[in-house]
Amino acid sequence: MKSNITYLISLTALAGLCALLAFWPNAKSTTVNPNIFKVPDQTKIDRVVFVSPTDTVALAYSEQGWKVNGRHKADRNLITALFATVYQAIAKREVAASLSDSVARRVVAEGTRVSLFEQGELRKTFWVHGHAPTNETWFQLADGKPYLMNIPGYRVYVASVFQLGEDVWRDKLVFDINWQNFRSCESAFAAAPEQNFRIQWVGRALEVPGLPMADTAKVANYLDAISELVAERFVSNLMPPWDSLSRTQPLNRTVLTDVAGRQHTLELFPPLPDQRSWLARNAQGEYLLIGFPDVRPLLVRKQDLARGR
């Protein structure tokens, strides 16, 4: 009984101390505003600029959609991921005082400065950095206070979408063509010219010259697959082993021609051992990496379009 009384007295004293601290004039609140890095309405943001120690990427919206550095269409899925992150990421807590200064210096020196604009007006600027192995991400404003960020309910590396280069932000659709304006498609194999083919419109029918028994369903499926072909990413600077491969003869060359006579070309290089991606080059001389499951349409040969195959 005595021990119970002592326990109750201790609880009463602790409760009184908590109440006193709650109303103490100089008590410092540790409450964090979880929305400190948000803008009033992220749907109105029409320009986002990322500046890192190695790269600058500007995403801008116009009537033609989002563009990367004013030159390329942006990947719509990544744009969606970006604004989902901006909308959902919250400040979980301030970095511990003992680490705050060192983390703040690191965030500014090694991280990415993110600027959000609305009709030319700067709405928010903050710095982002993180540590991918531990899924830790820090945001900080100009006041230099770093905050640990997260997306409630998800264990994701929040910083990742803010650390992408121009090549990654680009739209990965390989053949950017309006299929209502499609005239013909030609596929040529360097080592097997007898398997080359051409698909073209003759009246309202698709035909494969030299293949009188073409399977119309297979032809349509092939064209659908080509129209949906996406790359894994663009590659600005080829590194080994891709650089030496780019100087060899392509395995296949696919050319799409529209009704205006514009040609959309893709050259596919032979696969490399132990590499899951294939190297390709478009008409602008840009290099792309395409995953094996997606590269299969480019390997279709004339005999594969024949009826009964």
pLDDT tens figures, 165-215: 999 999 999 998 877 788 999 999 999 999 999 999 888 889 999 998 899
Place of tokens 């005239």: 183
The verdict on pTM exceeding 0.85 is no
Adjacent-strand bridge partners of 214: 306
| pLDDT at residue number 4 | 36
Q: How far apart are CA 301 and CA 197, in angstroms?
A: 7
Place of tokens 């990367």: 68
Neighbours of 177 (CB within 10 A): 19
Query: What are the tens digits of pLDDT across the range 110-146?
Result: 999 999 999 999 999 999 999 999 999 999 999 889 9
Give the list of residues 6+ apart from residue 121 with CB closer than 8 angstroms, or none: none
Instruction: Give the residue-averaged pLDDT of 92-109.
Output: 95
Among the residue ranges 3-7, 56-60, 190-194, the one predicted with the least confidence is 3-7
| pLDDT at residue number 309 | 63
| pLDDT at residue number 3 | 38
Q: How far apart are CA 193 and CA 259, in angstroms?
A: 26
Residue 237 has pLDDT above 80, yes or no: yes
Return the structure tokens found at 235.
């590659």
More confident residue, 309 or 41: 41
Closest to 145 in 3D by CA, of 85, 91, 90: 91
| pLDDT at residue number 203 | 86
| pLDDT at residue number 16 | 38
What are all long-range contacts of 292-298, with beta carbons under 8 Å and residues at least 24 apart? 294/229, 294/230, 294/231, 294/232, 295/268, 296/225, 297/222, 297/225, 297/226, 297/229, 298/187, 298/226, 298/229, 298/252, 298/254, 298/266, 298/268
Residue 218 has pLDDT above 60, yes or no: yes
Model confidence band, residue 147 (pLDDT cutoffs 50, 70, 90):
very high
Instruction: Give the residue-averaged pLDDT of 162-167.
Output: 96
| pLDDT at residue number 5 | 33
Q: How far apart are CA 29 and CA 158, in angstroms?
A: 26
**Which of 12-21, 93-102, 169-178 is predicted most confidently?**
93-102
More confident residue, 212 or 152: 152
Residue 27 has pLDDT above 60, yes or no: no
Query: What are the tens digits of pLDDT across the range 247-279?
Result: 999 999 999 999 889 999 999 999 999 899 999
Q: How far apart are CA 98 and CA 91, in angstroms?
A: 19
Share of the chain above pLDDT 70, in %: 90
| pLDDT at residue number 148 | 97
| pLDDT at residue number 30 | 54
| pLDDT at residue number 8 | 30
Place of tokens 């009826």: 307
